[in-house]
Amino acid sequence: MSELSEAERRDWLKLSRSENVGPVTFDQLIRRFGTAGKALSALPDLARRGGRTAGLKLATDTAVDKELADGAALGAQLIAACEPAFPQALAALDPPPPLIWVRGRVELLHRTCVAIVGARVASAAGQRFARGLAADLGQTGHVIVSGLARGIDAAAHEGAMPTGTVAVLGGGVDDVYPPEHANLYARIAETGCVVSESEPGRAAVARDFPRRNRIISGLSRAVVVVEAELRSGSLITARLAAEQGREVLAVPGSPLDPRAKGTNDLIRQGAALCEGAEDVVRALEGLRGFREPERGYGGGPAPEPDDALRAEVAALLSPTPVSRDEIVRATGAAPAAVFAALVELSLAGRCELQPGGMVAAI
Amino acid sequence: MSELSEAERRDWLKLSRSENVGPVTFDQLIRRFGTAGKALSALPDLARRGGRTAGLKLATDTAVDKELADGAALGAQLIAACEPAFPQALAALDPPPPLIWVRGRVELLHRTCVAIVGARVASAAGQRFARGLAADLGQTGHVIVSGLARGIDAAAHEGAMPTGTVAVLGGGVDDVYPPEHANLYARIAETGCVVSESEPGRAAVARDFPRRNRIISGLSRAVVVVEAELRSGSLITARLAAEQGREVLAVPGSPLDPRAKGTNDLIRQGAALCEGAEDVVRALEGLRGFREPERGYGGGPAPEPDDALRAEVAALLSPTPVSRDEIVRATGAAPAAVFAALVELSLAGRCELQPGGMVAAI
């Protein structure tokens, strides 16, 4: 963990904004090449080896300059996953987002964060509960993370406004959505903190929300779901949290209330029952620190995949996601060589490396 | 398991209605003496050995005749724990109630029973849920057991009226309480079944309700608690059910509703979450038959406690309940001799033998 130079941070940004470079590929490239600069030099060649015929579109210097200037104009800060200022909880993800933009009090991200999420169309009782829970957890020193959405999210932010709250956005750190939350946003940016993986100025589109949800749970020690229908976004956040090894709590509700179906189901599946701040505090008791990520951004030599291995890996992929470990087992080759082949294929746009260790053909 | 003769049933009734004879003492006496008649003959002597100076009051023949006549006038049936007509689930308790009075369709007690219990001051939503759950479980062939109380109990009986419901009373089988449930009672007695451990004509007093609750759970494979505040009677029924090895389910509710505090707490402690009949059916899947009670009402010789052992056992007792097994361990004597000493002390009014294996000095 060390701070990047300006030039290195530019390279990180450029690499992360280049075509077909998702967080998994980014992580693999840094492992293999040691620095973003070296990875950028190797990128066109890797994509070609993966089967790409057209040139891979790297982020332009103009675009990188613009993003840095836009962020600076907002007073926002760009933090890379390898830097000390990057939140420890988020750095423990495998892989972490390569970079985040942060507006407001960055230090809040280094305290114990608890996410409170739930239905956008929430009941008055649910909103009241979320507001009270956020306030109570704030009083006990916790920072409340949520997604600035209508309903439960907004109530949680409001409750934690006096003590500290973090809004994670799908668009840029200046993308206020829904528009009626302009005042809420302004107060959070002033007294709390706004976080986004996207470039400033970008308006959120549907596919940004799963990434946003992953950061909401990734920043947090525990995720509390207040009201949620079956098959709702909050349940996806809860699933991500469980996969990330975070505590999942759910607020029970009457079986006659459809907004309790999702939370009751979480409890049935093993989530802790949450009736108030005490339950969250109890769930957090005895938790240990996040393990230092093993990845060690130091780089090192990796076995090169040959054409035969690359072809074998490509043939093993299908649109149904499988784990990378399964691909390794099926080939019998060195994991590093298989991962390198997968990175090449992903840069060529032939497969998608998903967080959580899964890979699917495109 | 065999049917008692009229004379034997009279003896069972007389023994069970005699002073200081609770279900545990009754059970021990039958084990030791083989028949209620022999136990009755031995009773005065046993009480004397336990330290009783005044004569032990046996039930009078007049009282026994009156109870039998009162029951017959109601068309009710008296069933002893050793008889084939005694419900198997209730017979599996250790110890079972020695006798129950049953009015209505006794055969309902031999089907799979599910208890639905909860708050007397229940919400409209809670009552609606209880009614629907009872109706749905009735449709799948289950018999619904409850306590004829206001609120959840009444709603559960109503829901199961078309398919079969059992009311367990603290007073006699003709003791309608609360009075406004006269019509509900009449319909249950007509199409369902009423059960009580008390003599006909007796009005329930406070100490009858724990015994009643033990029969509600004892008749049932599963107990569902619909709404319950903390420290309420329904939670006692749930605890008894768990001790009896029955499934416990609880209906979740909003933390803002005080009537959900008890049910949410049950779920936290491991009760299955109940959102509908499917959850009950799932909880009952794979349950095996009740074990045949080991006690074998055949009688047999038991080691007699001597004065030294009796004094040692008496000295070990205190008002804080301890398990009978602990007393056995502390004395190092044969369990049957210790139990016999405890029976003598209980007949003398010096200790109380509680269901669940605990004993306390009085």
Kindly report, residue by residue over B40-86, the tens digit of the pLDDT. 999 999 999 999 988 899 999 999 999 999 999 999 999 999 999 99
Distance from CA of B362 to the nearest CA of A (A): 40
**DSSP strand E in B147-304: where?**
165-169, 193-196, 222-225, 247-250, 272-273
Look at B255 and A129 and tell me if their CB atoms are within 8 Å.
yes
Taking CA–CA distances from A271, the nearest residue in chain B reads B268
Question: What are the percentages of helix, strand and coil residues in chain A, rounded to 5?
Answer: 45, 15, 40
Would you state the pLDDT for residue A286?
Answer: 74
Taking CA–CA distances from B226, the nearest residue in chain A reads A254
Q: Sheet harboring A77-80: ordered strands across?
A: A77-80, A99-104, A193-196, A165-169, A143-146, A113-117, A222-225, A247-250, A272-273
Would you state the pLDDT for residue B207?
Answer: 87
Would you state the pLDDT for residue A300?
Answer: 52
- Name which of A261, A267, A276 is nearest B267 (Cβ-Cβ): A267
The size of the A-B interface in CB pairs under 8 A is: 56
Work out the burial of residue A51: count CB atoms within 10 Å of its CB; fewer than 13 is exposed, 13-18 middle, 19 or more buried: middle
Q: With a cut of 80, say whether residue B291 has pLDDT above it.
A: no
Look at B273 and A268 and tell me if their CB atoms are within 8 Å.
yes
Look at A125 and B256 and tell me if their CB atoms are within 8 Å.
yes
Look at B252 and A275 and tell me if their CB atoms are within 8 Å.
no
Specify the pairing of strand B222-225 against strand B193-196. unpaired
Q: Which residue has the higher pLDDT, B341 or A295?
A: B341
- At B118, the pLDDT band (50, 70, 90 cuts) reads very high
- Name which of B256, B260, B268 is nearest A129 (Cβ-Cβ): B256
Would you state the pLDDT for residue A305?
Answer: 86
CA distance B80 to B198: 13
Query: Residue A351 half-sphere exposure, CB side, CA atoms within 13 Å?
Result: 34
Residues of B in contact with A261 (CB under 8 A): 275
Cβ–Cβ under 8 Å, residues B93 and B186? no
Residues of B in contact with A260 (CB under 8 A): 252, 254
Compute the mean pLDDT over every residue in chain B, rounded to the nearest whole number: 93
Per residue, what are the HEC states of A136-164? HHHHCCCEEEECCCCCHHHHHHHHHCCCC
Taking CA–CA distances from B125, the nearest residue in chain A reads A256
Residues of B in contact with A250 (CB under 8 A): none
Would you state the pLDDT for residue B299?
Answer: 47
- Name which of B128, B252, B276 is nearest A252 (Cβ-Cβ): B252
pLDDT in tens, B18-52: 999 999 999 999 989 999 999 999 999 999 999 99
Mutation site for A-interface testing, chosen from B127, B264, B278, B280 by largest number of A Cβ within 10 Å: B264
The tokens describing A165, both together, are 């709250």
Of the candidates B244, B208, B249, the one whose C-alpha atom is nearest the C-alpha of residue B90 is B244
Of the candidates B172, B197, B6, the one whose C-alpha atom is nearest the C-alpha of residue B86 is B197
Evaluate whether ipTM surpasses 0.90.
Answer: no
Would you state the pLDDT for residue A289?
Answer: 76
Residues of A in contact with B276 (CB under 8 A): 255
- Name which of B251, B264, B267 is nearest A255 (Cβ-Cβ): B251
Taking CA–CA distances from A127, the nearest residue in chain B reads B256
The tokens describing A128, both together, are 């009241």
Per-residue pLDDT of chain A (362 residues; tens, 9 = 90+): 789 999 999 999 999 999 999 999 999 999 899 999 999 999 999 999 999 988 899 999 999 999 999 999 999 999 999 999 999 999 999 899 999 999 999 999 999 999 999 999 999 999 999 999 999 999 999 999 999 999 999 999 999 999 999 999 999 999 999 999 999 999 999 999 999 999 999 999 988 998 999 999 999 999 999 999 998 889 999 999 999 999 999 999 999 999 999 999 999 999 999 999 999 999 999 777 776 555 544 445 566 888 999 999 999 999 999 999 999 999 999 998 999 999 999 999 999 998 888 999 98
Look at A252 and B264 and tell me if their CB atoms are within 8 Å.
yes
- Name which of A252, A255, A275 is nearest B129 (Cβ-Cβ): A255
Look at B276 and A253 and tell me if their CB atoms are within 8 Å.
no
Question: Which chain A residues touch B if contact means CB-CB below 8 Å?
Answer: 125, 128-129, 251-257, 260-261, 264, 267-268, 273-276
Q: With a cut of 60, say whether residue B193 has pLDDT above it.
A: yes
Q: With a cut of 90, say whether residue B288 has pLDDT above it.
A: no
Distance from CA of B186 to the nearest CA of A (A): 31
- Name which of A267, A268, A276 is nearest B255 (Cβ-Cβ): A276
Mutation site for A-interface testing, chosen from B129, B152, B273, B282 by largest number of A Cβ within 10 Å: B273
Look at B275 and A253 and tell me if their CB atoms are within 8 Å.
no
Would you state the pLDDT for residue B9?
Answer: 96
Residues of A in contact with B128 (CB under 8 A): 256
Would you state the pLDDT for residue B55?
Answer: 86
Q: pTM for this structure? A: 0.86
